[in-house]
């Protein structure tokens, strides 16, 4: 099995790929995995820390070939609003809930969630269901970048954030994590 030598960012490599791999958002967050590509190539991704692969990234193999990373289509909603201020308010509410959100010119995309879709509608947003690749924003803590990581996290407390209900939290929002990012090892261990 051939190893991945380096991850080449989308737009930073040229030529036709030797093969491709289609992965959803979670499957594009990797440290170590055996990947079975569309054309039959089997590769080992074994990195020192997890990375978030993006649509269009290239996996440079030891022999110089490149495998293109393609984002799988996922059940999403595209959110638009009448004004930029309305869209900004919706974005704030999504961020306040730590929801992975893809930023587009004049729109936002999130995964399907009927509770959040209802909140967005109450905030004046227009929702269009679609199936598309999902590549959410990384965030201020480096989440979602090739150098960082992207995953849900807990602050060790629970409270409700109803639309229109704002309150001071009175607690720290530490982003330290005491869990493994590795997932299952390629060898099953």
- Which CATH number goes with the domain that contains 128? 3.30.70.790
**Domain assignment of residue 42, yes or no:** yes
In this structure, the answer to whether residues 67 and 78 fall within a common structural domain is no
Query: Which of 1, 10, 109 lies closest to 63, judged by CA?
Result: 1
pLDDT, tens digit, 9 for 90 and up, residues 159-189: 343 444 433 333 333 333 333 333 333 334 3
Supply 68's token pair. 């293109």
Non-local (6+) Cβ contacts of 128 within 8 A are 77, 78, 80
Owner of token pair 């990384």: 138
Query: What's residue 141's pLDDT?
Result: 53
Q: What is the β-pairing status of strands 66-71 and 19-23?
A: parallel
Strands (E), 24-81: 29-36, 42-52, 58-61, 66-71, 73-80
**Domain assignment of residue 182, yes or no:** no
**Domain assignment of residue 116, yes or no:** yes
Q: Which backbone phi and psi does 88 adopt, to 5 degrees?
A: -65, -45
- Whether the CB-CB separation of 136 and 101 falls below 8 Å is answered with yes
- Domain of 34? 2-71
In this structure, the answer to whether residues 82 and 52 fall within a common structural domain is no
Confidence of residue 113 (pLDDT cuts 50, 70, 90): very high
In this structure, the answer to whether residues 90 and 29 fall within a common structural domain is no
In this structure, the answer to whether residues 44 and 91 fall within a common structural domain is no
CA distances for 37 relative to 20, 31, 86, angstroms: 6, 17, 42
Structural domain count of the chain? 2
State the Cα–Cα distance between residues 68 and 54, nearest whole angstrom.
10
**Domain assignment of residue 188, yes or no:** no
pLDDT, tens digit, 9 for 90 and up, residues 9-46: 999 999 999 999 999 998 999 899 999 999 999 999 99
Which of 71, 100, 127 corresponds to the end of one domain? 71
Which of 37, 71, 105 corresponds to the end of one domain? 71
Percent of the residues in the chain that have a pLDDT greater than 70, as a whole number? 73
**Left if phi > 0, otherwise alpha if psi is -120 to 50, otherwise beta: which for 156?**
left
Confidence of residue 138 (pLDDT cuts 50, 70, 90): confident
């Amino acid at each position: 099995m051939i190893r991945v030598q380096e991850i080449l960012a989308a737009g930073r490599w040229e030529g036709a790929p030797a093969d491709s791999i289609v992965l959803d958002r979670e499957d594009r967050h990797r440290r170590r995995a055996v990947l079975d590509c569309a054309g039959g190539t089997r590769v080992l991704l074994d990195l020192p820390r997890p990375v978030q692969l993006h649509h269009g990234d290239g996996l440079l193999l030891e022999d110089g070939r490149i495998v293109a990373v393609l984002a799988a289509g996922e059940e999403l909603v595209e959110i638009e609003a009448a004004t930029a201020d309305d869209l900004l308010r919706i974005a704030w509410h999504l961020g306040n809930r730590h929801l992975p959100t893809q930023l587009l010119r004049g729109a936002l995309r999130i995964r399907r969630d009927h509770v959040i879709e209802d909140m967005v509608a109450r905030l004046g947003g227009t929702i269009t269901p679609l199936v598309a690749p999902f590549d959410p924003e990384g965030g201020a803590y480096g989440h979602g970048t090739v150098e960082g990581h992207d995953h849900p996290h807990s602050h060790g407390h629970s409270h409700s954030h109803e639309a229109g209900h704002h309150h001071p939290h009175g607690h720290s929002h530490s982003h330290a994590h005491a869990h493994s990012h590795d997932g299952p090892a390629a060898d099953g261990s």
